[in-house]
Amino acid sequence: MYKPNFKITNKILNHIAEIYASRELILNASLLPKWEVKLRKEAILKMAHHSTSIEGNRLTIDEVNKLLQGKDIAAWEKDKKEVLGYVKVLEYIDDLGEKGVDKITEKIILKIHKLNTLGILKDSKAGRYRKVQVAIVNGSGRVTFQPPKTSQVPSLMKGFVAWLNSKKARELSPVLASGIAHYEFVRIHPFVDGNGRTARALATLILYLRGFDTKRFFALDDYYNEDRSRYYTALQTVDSETIDITKWLEYYTEGVAVSMGKVKLVILDLSLDRRLKDQKGQIYLNERQMKVLKHLQTNPKVTISEIQKMFDISRDTANRDLKLLLENELVRRRGKGKATYYELA
């Protein structure tokens, strides 16, 4: 079984203390559902943009936003497929959380990779461990990292997943566990392509399933994308012999602290603005209404017939659910007659 090699330094402790202070404020903030939906949608947008951008995706955040709204954009098909695939991964992560999954299996990791590379890699490579040797090269063609041999990948992944679900891993802070998993996955490099996106998605999944990011407000990839060279340098600070990941974890926890600090500032601003709360009072939504809002976080629109099919309910019931969402300006109606649809306000 995999055994990570690292030390807990003052830097790591300080970052984790900062992270948990921000998390406490964020999760206990009193927010209207409208703001919660907007924060989740913004997190999805940022993750889809930054995680793919790190690996060279050329879409701007504005283009990603338009793409997620269902609008046509002039861009390479591969770039669009990468972004849409990552959104599918985030939806899958949400589904796993809703089902109460508490064990991360190889099957789940393979599914994440398959969604990440759908339409980009051949079926024989999407969601399947690599069958060829790969190497990481820099812009001048020099090999900067040589992943383990192809023959070692299956056993390394089994040992890695066994550790991920072990008592020792579960006793760690979810932040440390996600940082360790991020590095070790990149080191094994189990796929021919899409390893980085899958590693970052796996880190997100760990935080979510272990109860750290229960509101799904955190987008951690923007920090790493803002200075890509530092991200890759941090990955390369690990000695190939000792595989001591202390320096990497100092960098990783710093990134989580900075990213969560940004969310905290937004939450503080929203919490100070009591105008809507005083005007409307607290809004209580039923489970169907919350699921409609969740659907609209990753889909540009929804029709009343789609809502009926989602929950197997009558048109009248669907209309009643929509009425509260419309009255509280959580969604807005577009189109007329049979062409009527609803989108986030």
Asked if pLDDT for residue 25 goes beyond 80, the answer is yes
Residue 215 has a pLDDT of: 77
Residue 276 has a pLDDT of: 46
* Comparison of pLDDT for 76 and 134, the residue scoring more: 76
Asked if pLDDT for residue 345 goes beyond 50, the answer is yes
SS3 of residue 255 by DSSP: helix
Q: How many CB atoms lie within 10 A of CB 177?
A: 22
Residue 284 has a pLDDT of: 66
Residue 300 has a pLDDT of: 86
Q: pLDDT band for position 330 (50/70/90)? A: confident
The CATH number of 284-344, from 1.10.10.10, 3.40.50.300, 1.10.275.10, 3.40.50.920, is 1.10.10.10
Q: Does the annotation count 189 as an active-site position?
A: yes
Question: Which range has the top average pLDDT, 5-14, 22-31, 129-138, 294-303?
Answer: 5-14
Read off the pLDDT of each residue in 124-147 and give the average, rounded to a whole number. 82
Domains of the chain, residue spans: 10-270, 284-344
Burial class from Cβ neighbours inside 10 Å (0-12, 13-18, 19+) for residue 236 reads middle
Query: 39-96 pLDDT, tens per residue?
Result: 888 889 999 999 999 988 999 999 999 999 889 899 999 999 999 999 999 999 999 9
Burial class from Cβ neighbours inside 10 Å (0-12, 13-18, 19+) for residue 306 reads middle
Residue 303 has a pLDDT of: 94
Residue 28 has a pLDDT of: 80
Comparing C-alpha atoms, which of 84, 28, 45, 86 is closest to residue 215? 28
Comparing C-alpha atoms, which of 249, 254, 256 is closest to residue 235? 249
Domain 10-270 carries which CATH code? 1.10.3290.10
Query: 195-213 pLDDT, tens per residue?
Result: 999 999 999 999 999 988 7
Structure tokens of 57?
């995706």
Q: Which of 30-44, 192-206, 296-310 has the lowest mean pLDDT?
A: 30-44
* Comparison of pLDDT for 280 and 51, the residue scoring more: 51
Measured CA to CA, the distance from residue 163 to residue 180 in angstroms comes to 11
Residue 275 has a pLDDT of: 44
Whole-Å CA distances, 262 to 29, 290, 319 = 15, 25, 37
Q: What is the full DSSP assignment across 75-137?
A: S-HHHHHHHHHHHHHHHHHHHHHHTT-----HHHHHHHHHHHHTTTS-TTTTTS--SS---EE
Catalytic residue among 113, 182, 189, 295: 189
C-alpha distance across the termini of the chain, in Å:
49
